[in-house]
Amino acid sequence: MGTVITITSGKGGTGKTSITSGVASSLALMGRRVLCIDMDIGLRNLDISLGLNDRALMDFADVALGRCPLNRAAVGHPDLTGLSLLTSPMSLPASLTADKVRALLKEARTIYDYILIDSPAGLGTGFRLATCAADRAIVIATNDTSSLRDAQRTVAELDHLRTVHLVMNRIQTRLLRKLRTTIDDAMNAAGLPLIGVVPEDPQVILCANLGQPLTTRGKRGAALACWNIAQRLEGGRVPIMRIR
């Protein structure tokens, strides 16, 4: 049975979508069957990050509400075997319930090794749908005070999950030195074990603009960090990237 992982944050702008794309494409390169589900309703961008812009005609609500089977709605990546996307509707259907999302994910578990859900920022209805049937969660934060505070609030809403990890994203050496802080300080503030540290990397924006998954352009910077996170999800013992 596949594992459902929700990738979330307390606020927008932390890089959830780029991390979802980078980790998913890394797992696919490792030979795993991966389904990405964009649940950022109304603000979907995961298709761009994966290089599948506008290829998806049906969305996860169509599947959950029985309008389209999963195998038809999920769009396979043309270059990364095993990687598929189920995109988000532009608005939340009133008839879409947590039970229907659970049924969708139950079916997806029988087909895929990993189901990665790109959750909307905040703690509203979209967040509750994205976490209602997750096996584990990854909280994305940057090392500014407001992001870490919002990460703490998010963690409090994930107490029904046994495994929740932290990814520190967009880390800049210069900023760390200026603030006299460390990754350990951020871990203590968020109250979560760390599964990855991702440096600020211009390749993230470049790849999104080119429609290329980050990890297809080599394993360095943010791409290497996402590859390492994927290895840890697989149970590998990989040192955390140190950025000071």
For residue 149, what pLDDT is reported?
A: 86
Q: Which is nearest to 165 in space by CA: 6, 3, 2, 1?
A: 6
Residue 56 phi, psi (nearest 5): -80, 120
Give pLDDT tens digits for 133-170.
999 999 999 888 888 888 888 988 998 998 999 999 99
- Look at 151 and 129; give whichever has higher pLDDT: 129
- Report the mean per-residue pLDDT for the chain: 89
For residue 133, what pLDDT is reported?
A: 96
Tokens of 93: 């259907």
DSSP assignment of 224-243: HHHHHHHHHHTT---PPPP-
Q: Are 150 and 189 in contact (CB under 8 A)?
A: no
For residue 195, what pLDDT is reported?
A: 94
Give pLDDT tens digits for 31-73.
999 999 999 987 888 999 998 987 778 999 999 999 999 999 9
Give pLDDT tens digits for 89-123.
989 899 999 999 999 999 999 999 999 999 998 88
- Sheet of 34-38, strand order: 75-76, 83-86, 34-38, 114-118, 3-8, 136-141, 163-171, 194-199
Residue 178 has pLDDT above 60, yes or no: no
Residue 242 has pLDDT above 70, yes or no: no
Question: CA 52 to CA 45: how far, in whole Å?
Answer: 10
For residue 220, what pLDDT is reported?
A: 86
Beta bridge partners of 168: 141, 197
For residue 187, what pLDDT is reported?
A: 65
pLDDT-above-90 percentage for the chain: 59
- Look at 243 and 40; give whichever has higher pLDDT: 40
In this prediction, residues 189-212 reach a mean pLDDT of: 86
Residue 194: its H or E element: strand 194-199
Residue 175 has pLDDT above 70, yes or no: no
Lowest mean pLDDT among 9-13, 19-23, 149-153, 223-227: 9-13
Residue 239 has pLDDT above 70, yes or no: yes
For residue 34, what pLDDT is reported?
A: 98
pLDDT-above-70 percentage for the chain: 91
Residue with tokens 């999104």: 208
